[in-house]
Amino acid sequence: MKTVLFADDELHYIEGLMEAVRAEGFEVLTCRNASKAIELCKAKQIDCLVIDIMMEPGHLLSECDPQTAGLAAIDIILKHDSHQSIVCFSVVSDPAIIKRFRKLNVLYLRKAETSGDKALKIITAKVTGVYRHNG
């Protein structure tokens, strides 16, 4: 079974999206801090990581600013596995951060501007390699 990890300290805001991903037949794992996301990506086969930028750093990143803990986690995860499929789902709109994501091949979706349906299609495409235009 394909696995999607949602790393966000406010998971209640994306519960509907997580349920939709489950309905697609994927296993859904969750964590609420950046350190746990790193640990899970190293310990398990994660087919797609959906991560926020602003989140609690956790014990591995205790010196990290919560405003950018997700970025620090992404850097560490990609050093461990440069092919890890990552979608950043956040409210941050800093052009420098978005440009950095493009260089890292991390897809950025802005929470306030991306519909649940579009987010689901993109996450599904990241897991399966197939983007459904309709349905």
Mean pLDDT for the chain overall? 94
Looking at per-residue confidence, does 133 or 109 come out higher?
A: 109
Number of folded domains that form the chain: 1
Where in the sequence is the domain holding 31, given as residue range(s)?
A: 3-128
Evaluate if residue 115 carries a pLDDT over 70: yes
- The predicted pLDDT at position 134 comes to 60
What whole-number distance in Å separates Cα of residue 135 and Cα of residue 28?
21
Q: Residue 131's pLDDT band (boundaries 50, 70, 90)? A: confident
| pLDDT average, residue stretch 111-127 | 93
Question: Helix or strand or coil: residue 97?
Answer: helix
Residue 80 lies in a domain: yes
Return the C-alpha torsion angle 131, 14, 27, 44, nearest 10.
Answer: 100
Contacts of 83 (CB under 8 A, 6+ apart): none
Residue 135 lies in a domain: no
pLDDT in tens, 24-60: 999 999 999 999 999 999 999 999 999 999 999 999 9
Evaluate if residue 133 carries a pLDDT over 80: no
| pLDDT average, residue stretch 122-133 | 87
Report yes or no: 20 and 120 within 8 Å, Cβ to Cβ.
Answer: yes
The pairing of beta strand 48-51 with beta strand 27-31: unpaired
Residue 134 lies in a domain: no
What whole-number distance in Å separates Cα of residue 135 and Cα of residue 121?
9
Residue 115 lies in a domain: yes
- The predicted pLDDT at position 46 comes to 98
Looking at per-residue confidence, does 108 or 131 come out higher?
A: 108
Other C-beta atoms lying within 10 Å of the C-beta of residue 33: 22
**Residue 63 structure tokens:** 């010196």
Residue 133 lies in a domain: no
Closest CA to 90 of 5, 10, 4: 10
What CATH number did the domain enclosing 95 receive?
3.40.50.2300
- The predicted pLDDT at position 129 comes to 87
